[in-house]
């Protein structure tokens, strides 16, 4: 590890193979925690390249729980977190809308790190299990169009790295790669990141790791989700071609609103907000989900435009399909718990 630290400190970027070797070394129990911390810090100071990010992601996926699925097209709409907006659980709420619109969604997520309530926290409050086994993930995708992957459950080797990350107390490469490490082989993806300077890099990485189509975005106000505040910055990756563009909610028939209008709270409050959106109750929460789900449907190639995606998202909610998806996953979790108790 020392040679990699020295190289990066000297301002030299690692090749793809060197970064794979460095990442595999990080997972070794024999490596000193200080060396891992120094390596991550040096990378952050130098600035991570596309090759370094791609290599790290591939090794993390190699070391994750393997989840083969039978669905040919699977989508995820996970954000990096870290935007400090204290918003409600936008991508989690949107995932039910996407599933209600017919997408197969393998939603990767974690507990709260930088916000009050992470996706896993609100799912737990709704009564959804966090420890689905690979067979159950496949069953859920078939039965309900959606399955949830709790990051610590599918990345068991990350436990030591997480402790080191927390001890550093500052962002590292791991703060931007979470959504890319979904162990399911995704065909398309929507990734929100709070760093606008990383949009093109992450779009290139998504192509490198096998996505056919994807959107990477930074929301207005510096969010890791599309927001109603103003211009959102996006990059569409389509078969390797990366196309940057901006989008204002007004362009797709939605009203602008300040970040304060979509503030969340604890898990209980956010679960209530989520359910109110799925019931179609008018609010900035609903419009934010319509915007993000609309972008997601466009990213997956289901809709020809984002405006059409917003229309399909609205139909998913108004028809009751989005709420039905959520209720089906809750019922699956409860039945599963009942079977375990009586086994």
Residue ranges of the annotated binding site for 5-phospho-alpha-D-ribose 1-diphosphate are 79, 82-83, 87, 89-92, 107-115, 119
Q: What is the pLDDT of residues 221-278, one digit of tens each?
A: 999 999 999 999 999 999 999 999 999 999 999 999 999 999 999 999 999 999 999 9
Q: How confident is the model over 200-234, as pLDDT tens digits?
A: 999 999 999 999 999 999 999 999 999 999 999 99
Annotated binding site for anthranilate: 79, 110, 165
Q: Are 107 and 78 contacting, i.e. CB atoms less than 8 angstroms apart?
A: yes
* Residues 94, 35 within the same domain: no
Question: Does one domain contain both 196 and 120?
Answer: yes
Which structural domain, as residue segments, surrounds residue 83?
A: 75-328
Strands 213-218 and 231-238: antiparallel
Residues 147 and 35 in one domain: no
Tally of domains within the chain: 2
Looking at the fold, whether 95 and 234 belong to one and the same domain comes out as: yes
Question: Taking the C-alpha atoms of 301, 210, 119 and 158 in order, what is their torsion angle to the nearest 10 degrees?
Answer: 180
Same domain, yes or no: 152 and 38: no
Report the alpha-carbon angle 68-224-178, nearest 5: 35
* pLDDT tens-digit readout, 295-335: 999 999 999 999 999 999 999 999 999 999 999 999 999 99
Q: What is the 3-state secondary structure (H, E, C) of 136-187?
A: HHHHHHHHHCEEEEEHHHHCHHHHHHHHHHHHHCCCCCHHHHHHHHCCCCCC
Residue 342: which pLDDT band, with cuts at 50, 70 and 90? very low
Establish if 65 belongs to a structural domain: no
Please enumerate, by residue number, every residue annotated as part of a binding site for Mg(2+): 91, 224-225
Say if 221 falls within a structural domain.
Answer: yes
How far, in Å, CA of 96 to CA of 80, rounded?
19
Cβ contact 181:50 at 8 Å: no
Which residue numbers belong to the known binding site? 79, 82-83, 87, 89-92, 107-115, 119, 165, 224-225
């Amino acid at each position: 590890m020392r040679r990699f630290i020295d190289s990066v400190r000297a301002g030299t970027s690692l090749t793809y193979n060197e970064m794979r070797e460095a990442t595999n070394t990080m997972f070794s129990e024999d490596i000193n925690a200080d060396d891992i911390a120094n390596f991550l810090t040096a990378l952050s100071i130098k600035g991570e390249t596309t090759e370094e990010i791609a290599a790290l992601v591939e090794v993390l996926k190699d070391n994750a729980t393997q989840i083969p699925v039978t669905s040919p097209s699977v989508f995820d709409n996970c954000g990096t977190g870290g935007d400090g907006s204290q918003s409600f659980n936008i991508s989690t709420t949107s995932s039910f809308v996407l599933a209600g619109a017919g997408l197969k969604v393998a939603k990767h997520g974690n507990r709260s790190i930088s916000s009050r309530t992470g996706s896993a926290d609100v799912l737990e409050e709704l009564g959804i299990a966090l420890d689905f086994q690979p067979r159950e993930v496949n069953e859920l995708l078939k039965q309900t169009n959606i399955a949830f992957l709790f990051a610590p459950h599918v990345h068991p080797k990350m436990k030591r790295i997480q402790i080191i990350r927390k001890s550093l107390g500052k962002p590292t490469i791991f703060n931007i790669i979470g959504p890319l490490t979904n162990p399911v082989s995704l065909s398309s993806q929507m990734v929100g990141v709070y760093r606008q300077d990383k949009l093109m890099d992450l779009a290139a990485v998504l192509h490198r790791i096998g996505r056919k189509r994807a959107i990477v975005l930074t929301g207005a106000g510096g969010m890791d989700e599309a927001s109603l505040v103003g211009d959102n910055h996006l990059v569409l990756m389509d078969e390797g071609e990366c196309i940057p563009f901006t989008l204002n909610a007004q362009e797709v028939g939605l009203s602008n609103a300040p970040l304060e209008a979509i503030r969340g709270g604890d898990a209980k409050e956010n679960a209530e907000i989520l359910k109110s959106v799925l019931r179609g109750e008018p609010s900035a929460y609903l419009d934010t989900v319509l915007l993000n789900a609309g972008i997601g449907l466009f990213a997956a190639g289901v809709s020809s435009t984002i405006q059409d995606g917003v229309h399909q998202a609205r139909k998913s909610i108004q028809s009751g399909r989005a709420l039905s998806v959520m209720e089906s996953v809750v019922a699956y979790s409860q039945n599963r718990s009942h079977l375990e108790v009586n086994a």
